[in-house]
Structure 1
Amino acid sequence: MIQYLQILLNARLAKMDERGATAVEYGLLVALIAAVIIGAVVILGGKLNNAFTEVNNSLNGAGK
């Protein structure tokens, strides 16, 4: 009976280790996605700002 309980306990501990590894993997994926988004914003941010400024200026000029 004690051996059976030890097997069950070891199985539960193994599952907990797998959950921890999975959580770390998901954390790394989230960090990678965040880095890509930040990089895209940094690279495209200035260009988008210029484009919206030109559109705004064009609309203001057309309304006069």
Structure 2
Amino acid sequence: MTALTCILAFLPNLGYGELLIIGVVAVLLFGNKLPEVARSLGKSFTEFKRGMNGVRDEWNDALYSDPQ
């Protein structure tokens, strides 16, 4: 599953027209800072995934470890 698929999974009822309008509004609001905003959003998404993987790993360790 790609990052774009994960993001778009939260927006199931938006069509291409709505996404285009959101994109135009983003360009108008952020202008030349759009690459910086996108980079920041990407880093935040990566940190979120890393945190979720850490939680999953801790859960699996607790679930499958030998009882003491």
TM-score band by shorter chain is: 0.5 to 0.7
Aligned to 2:58: 37
Query: 1:4-55, CA deviations, whole angstroms, 9 ceiling, x for partnerless residues?
Result: xxxxx31x111000000000000000010100000000112x512xxxxxxx
In structure 2, which of residues 25, 29, 38 is the aligned counterpart of residue 17 of structure 1? Answer: 38
Q: For residues 47 and 22 of structure 1, what CA distance do their matches in structure 2 show?
A: 37
Runs of 4+ in 1 over 3 A off after TM superposition: none
**Gaps spanning 5+ residues in structure 2: where?**
1-30
Over aligned residues, Cα RMSD in angstroms?
1.2
TM-score normalised to structure 2 length? 0.51
SS in 1 for 2:59: helix
- Return the index of the structure with the highest Cα Rg: 1
TM-score, length of structure 1 as denominator length: 0.54
Bigger relative CO (Cα 8 Å, ≥ 6 apart): 2
Percent identity, aligned pairs only, is 5
**Distance in 2 between the 1:29 and 1:14 partners?**
22
SS of structure 1 residue aligned to 2:58? helix
Q: Which amino acid aligns with 1:29?
A: R
For 2:35, the aligned partner's letter is: A
